[in-house]
Amino acid sequence: MNQISQTLDDLVSRFSAAVSAASDERELDAARVAFLGRSGEITVIRRGIGALPSAERPTAGKIINDVVATMEEQLIREAQRIQLRAFDAELATSIDVTFPAPASRLGTLHPIRTMTSTICTYFERLGFAVVLGPEIEPDYYTFDALNIPADHPAREGFDSFFITDSLLLRPHTSPMQIRTMEQHQPPIAILAPGTCYRRDAVDARHLFQFHQVEGLLVAEGIHMGHLKGVLTGLCRELFGPQQNVRFRPSFFPFTEPSAEVDTTCPKCKGETTTCNMCGGSGWIELGGAGMVHPNVLREMKYDTDVVSGWAFGFGIERLALTRYEIDDIRRFYENDPDFSRQLR
């Protein structure tokens, strides 16, 4: 019995020395296996209990169990010590966080799409649907149905590319008004972005290919104040919460009353007279708008006594030039990766 106690004392002191000397988890575990493992020293001692007189066996067992409990406690403490030291070591390391990361794997949307989706998202929030349509249109959708009969002077304003006598590359997105109204009964609330073509000589502000976004709302009780409200919201979405919208009378065959839509110059806010964006007027032109002409609604067999509506058409490049302060419209078609990256 005493011999067991003595052996245990010796064992504990060796164990204690081994585990406190362990400098990592591996050394600690080696000590655990040597003393407490399946064929470790404790197991050997336990096997010795059988040789003791039966009266001493319970006491011996208890002594061994107590020692094992003490050892296991120390093992936990040592494990904690090693863990803390590992933390300290890790925490003592540092890197140069300014070292450049690998290039982003994300691609870029074209700024025209970014601009278009910003506009569409705003209108979808209001309950509008976004519709897309063909770029080659019959003259009926482009002109006739929009109250621009064959000999109307306004046709010349849309200097169009013709494919045949009656097919042309659409010079505006307004045909989508007709396509939608042909297929649906009121109420109608749509936005129609898309590519348009006009025979414009190319310069910093003009291209023969460009994008427009058309809006159309036809329902009961719709008036011009709603047009101003929705477009004011759009301008605030695009250019900031202080934007205002101004309507100026204008003429488009498919709207009456018609308006040119201006918004506060986002650059100078109308506060300087030398602004290079607005020319000092304090306003930026966005495009045309107005109440849908009764002839257009009647062509669609809509009852003009019941429903009324408004429509607008804005050039997306024009909006993007203003929003991003771009110097030349041709940049949109150069596909310089840096251009898209800057404007993402």
Q: Which is nearer to other proteins, 113 or 267 (CB)?
A: 113
**Residue type, position 2, single letter:** N
Binding segment for other proteins (CB under 8 A), chosen from 15-23, 44-52, 90-98, 253-261, is 253-261
Q: Which is nearer to other proteins, 135 or 299 (CB)?
A: 135
- Using CB under 8 A as the binding rule, whether residue 31 contacts other proteins is answered as no
Q: Give the whole-angstrom CA distance, residue 312 versus residue 287.
A: 8
Pick the closest to residue 34 from 24, 21, 19, 49 (CA basis): 19
- Using CB under 8 A as the binding rule, whether residue 90 contacts other proteins is answered as no
CB contact at 8 A, 232 and 243: yes
For 136, other C-beta atoms within 10 Å of its C-beta total 13
- Using CB under 8 A as the binding rule, whether residue 100 contacts other proteins is answered as no
CB contact at 8 A, 237 and 122: yes
Q: Which is nearer to other proteins, 66 or 159 (CB)?
A: 159
Q: Give the whole-angstrom CA distance, residue 298 versus residue 145.
A: 10
Of 213, 259, 300, 311, the one binding other proteins by CB under 8 A: 259
Q: Give the whole-angstrom CA distance, residue 13 versus residue 309.
A: 95
Of 100, 102, 127, 241, the one binding other proteins by CB under 8 A: 127
State the minimum distance, in angstroms, from the CB of residue 101 to other proteins: 15
The single-letter DSSP state of residue 325 is T
- Using CB under 8 A as the binding rule, whether residue 53 contacts other proteins is answered as no
Binding segment for other proteins (CB under 8 A), chosen from 32-40, 80-88, 148-156, 321-329, is 148-156
Q: Give the whole-angstrom CA distance, residue 61 versus residue 42.
A: 11
The single-letter DSSP state of residue 189 is E
Q: What are phi and psi of 329, to 5 degrees?
A: -65, -25
Binding segment for other proteins (CB under 8 A), chosen from 1-9, 60-68, 71-79, 128-136, is 128-136
Q: Which is nearer to other proteins, 27 or 299 (CB)?
A: 299
State the minimum distance, in angstroms, from the CB of residue 44 to other proteins: 39
- Using CB under 8 A as the binding rule, whether residue 161 contacts other proteins is answered as yes
Q: Is 67 helix (H, G, I), strand (E, B) or coil?
A: helix
Segment 207 to 246, residues that bind other proteins, using CB under 8 A: 208-209, 217, 219, 221-226, 228-233, 245-246
State the minimum distance, in angstroms, from the CB of residue 208 to other proteins: 6
State the minimum distance, in angstroms, from the CB of residue 270 to other proteins: 13
What would you report as the CA-atom Rg of the chain, rounded to the nearest whole angstrom? Answer: 40
- Using CB under 8 A as the binding rule, whether residue 205 contacts other proteins is answered as no
State the minimum distance, in angstroms, from the CB of residue 182 to other proteins: 12
Q: Give the whole-angstrom CA distance, residue 71 versus residue 238.
A: 71
Category of 98 on φ-ψ map: left (φ > 0), alpha (ψ -120 to 50) or beta: alpha
- Using CB under 8 A as the binding rule, whether residue 117 contacts other proteins is answered as yes
Pick the closest to residue 268 from 287, 255, 257, 281 (CA basis): 281
Q: What token pair was written down for 256?
A: 């009456």
Segment 163 to 202, residues that bind other proteins, using CB under 8 A: 163-164, 167, 169, 180, 184-190, 193, 195, 197, 199, 201
State the minimum distance, in angstroms, from the CB of residue 226 to other proteins: 4
Segment 267 to 306, residues that bind other proteins, using CB under 8 A: 291, 293-294
